[in-house]
Amino acid sequence: MSVSHDHGRPPAVGLLLCNLGSPDAPETGAVRRYLAEFLSDPRVVEIPRPVWWLILHGIILRTRPAKSAAKYASVWMKEGAPLKVHTEAQAKLLQGWLGEREHKVLVRWAMRYGNPSIASQLDALRAAGAQRILVFNAYPQYCAATSASVMDKVNEWLQAQRWQPELRVINQYHDHPAYIEALATQVRAHWQREGGPHAPLVMSFHGMPERTLHLGDPYFCHCHKTARLLAEAMQLPKGSWQVAFQSRFGRAKWLGPSTEHVLTELGRAKHEAVDVICPGFAADCLETLEEIAMEGAETFKAAGGGQLRYIPCLNSSEAGMRALGTLAEQHLQGWPTRELPDAAALAAQRERALALGAPR
């Protein structure tokens, strides 16, 4: 795009909060378009392209969209897809959080797949005068299929820019103290509402094929470190918490144990209740609200268990926004986010000081 340069305007600082994405509507056509973009990303499905193209277009996009649309419809909010609603709220509150600390930052949000696109929001930040942009990946744990994929899109946009902005990136925060404390606060608040804990606390992360670990992806290790730090922050005794991985797809061996297996075993053990939190998601979405809070609850009950008590993601909670704000503020350090007084204002300030008897 062409950019109109206002040389009299001071350069601005921008922040782009990025998450995965959702279809535009809980309808088969919209879901098919979304899945086609999502599942065509070589970061997401790492098998030979010709083979995967036949599977994707010959089978998956013919059968899966209708089923997925029904699932989206079960969690759809009045304002739209839960992930979009929560991410938009986070961006607005993040702008306010930084503003209260006298940071002048243009905050926008984008989805890796679907709308609003990363390219369109970067265009908007540049059009508003942003010459420095912080790309904030909402994913707490780094994974090539998520964090790296966002940067693929950012770099694709950069290639079309003659005057590229200065960039910084938050590509993970799995062990950041503010994030861990926010998770602990969320669990404590849940237990206060529900009348205390029910062991074990299941920490369910999104699954990935096991081969990604062997290829050097740190995701599995990041998930376990997040879980360990959360358990330590809450002083949970050994055996009272467990890590699991959800959202398996296809026949490949995935990271384990699976959340479905864990919930089944807990149900067979006749647990009266089980608490489940999803620390790999910054905001609630289909994978938390439908897969865990609904399907997971059915799995647990069918196996002989009682109630599955789902602990919501951080979303726009006070603790969650404090964590996002703290991360943003740390990564913005050194950039001119606070307005400096102009020469006239400085002169007037000095004159007032002199009038009050300050030494010359």
Fold of 177-311: Rossmann fold (3.40.50)
Strands (E), 165-265: 166-170, 201-206, 241-246
Interatomic CA distance for residues 234 and 167, integer angstroms: 36
Rg (the chain; Cα; Å): 23
Start-to-end CA span in the chain (Å): 52
Enumerate the domain spans of the chain. Answer: 12-174+317-331, 177-311
Number of other CB atoms surrounding residue 73 within 10 Å:
13
Domain 12-174+317-331, second-level architecture = 3-Layer(aba) Sandwich (3.40)
C-alpha span between 109 and 121 (Å, rounded) = 7
| Exposure b/e, 222-250, CB count within 10 A at least 16 = b | bbeebbbbbbebbebeeeebbbbbbbbee
- Rounded CA-CA distance 25/80 in Å is 8
Beta strands in 171-264 (DSSP E): 201-206, 241-246
Task: Check if 12-174+317-331 and 177-311 are the same fold.
Answer: yes
- Diameter of the chain measured on Cα atoms: 83
Q: Which DSSP string do the residues of 127-141 spell out, in sequence order?
A: HTTEEEEEEEE--SS
Per-residue pLDDT of the chain (360 residues; tens, 9 = 90+): 445 555 556 789 999 999 999 999 999 999 999 999 999 999 999 999 999 999 999 999 999 999 999 999 999 999 999 999 999 999 999 999 999 999 999 999 999 999 999 999 999 999 999 999 999 999 999 999 999 999 999 999 999 999 999 999 999 999 999 999 999 999 999 999 998 887 789 999 999 999 999 999 999 999 999 999 999 999 999 999 999 999 887 778 999 999 999 999 999 999 999 999 999 999 999 999 999 999 999 999 999 999 999 999 999 999 999 999 999 999 999 999 986 545 455 556 566 656 666 555
Task: State the pLDDT at residue 199.
Answer: 72
Beta strands in the chain (DSSP E): 12-21, 106-113, 130-137, 166-170, 201-206, 241-246, 273-277, 307-311
Q: 287 among the known binding-site residues?
A: yes
Neighbours of 346 (CB within 10 A): 11
